[in-house]
Chains A and B, each alone.
Chain A
């Protein structure tokens, strides 16, 4: 059974900092991995999907990397802004389209 761990659980940084969120998973036989953002009281918004054959995926200030063999992914956020404050979730996809979610990293970016 896939187990997903996200570190840190919470992070508070001043505006403008570059930061890295970490995700590790136990079963490396994945099709892809998605990073999501969740705002309080809201649903999940997909940020990036990185296929198992890819090493990196970029969207604006976000960059996700994947090291499938070691069971790790990172989400890099450049020049953080208060609007980036949210919970970030990673979810590897092992079987068809079934995602297993980590516990999330709760990010606060202070003005």
Chain B
């Protein structure tokens, strides 16, 4: 399996622009997670889907952030409008559902908002 695939790997944009990050989970996995990593706050869970349904979005920082999972093989994280403080590495992870299962991470998208 190719693992969790994220695109783009790097994104540079200007403040106020819309940004869309993409994730393809491992085939057969039915849980998907979006995380954000910054130097100041470390790794934080933003939102978690189970069987394409958002289960917990309490980590989404503001209404400017939204995430969708239209099918089992694709998810997006959108920031609109983007701000410089959104600059971070965004990771997607997937797993089989259930507390006992390992999460597998993608390589991440490094976002820079100027």
Binding site for B on A (CB under 8 A): 31-32, 34, 36, 41-46, 49, 51, 89, 91, 93, 95-104
* Tally of contact residues, B, Cβ under 8 A: 27
Q: How many A-B contacts at CB < 8 Å in the complex?
A: 58
In this complex, which of B91, B99, B105, B110 has the most chain A Cβ atoms within 10 angstroms of its Cβ? Answer: B99
Q: Considering the chains assembled together, what is the distance between the CA atoms of A23 and B107 in angstroms?
A: 24
B59, chain A: closest CB distance, angstroms: 9
Q: Are B97 and A97 in contact (CB under 8 A)?
A: yes
Q: Are A31 and B103 in contact (CB under 8 A)?
A: no
Q: Are B42 and A42 in contact (CB under 8 A)?
A: no
Q: Is the interface of B mostly helix, strand, loop or mixed?
A: strand
In the complex, whether B12 has a CB less than 8 A from a CB of chain A is no
Interface set, chain B 63-106, CB cutoff 8 A to A:
91, 93, 95, 97-106
Binding site for A on B (CB under 8 A): 4, 31, 33, 42-45, 48, 50, 55-56, 91, 93, 95, 97-108, 110
Q: Considering the chains assembled together, what is the distance between the CA atoms of A6 and B103 in angstroms?
A: 20
Q: Is the interface of A mostly helix, strand, loop or mixed?
A: strand
Q: Are A43 and B91 in contact (CB under 8 A)?
A: yes
Question: Known pairs A49-B100, A97-B31, A97-B101. 16 more at Cβ < 8 A?
Answer: A31-B99, A31-B100, A32-B100, A34-B103, A42-B108, A46-B102, A46-B105, A51-B100, A89-B43, A91-B43, A95-B56, A96-B48, A98-B56, A101-B43, A102-B42, A103-B42
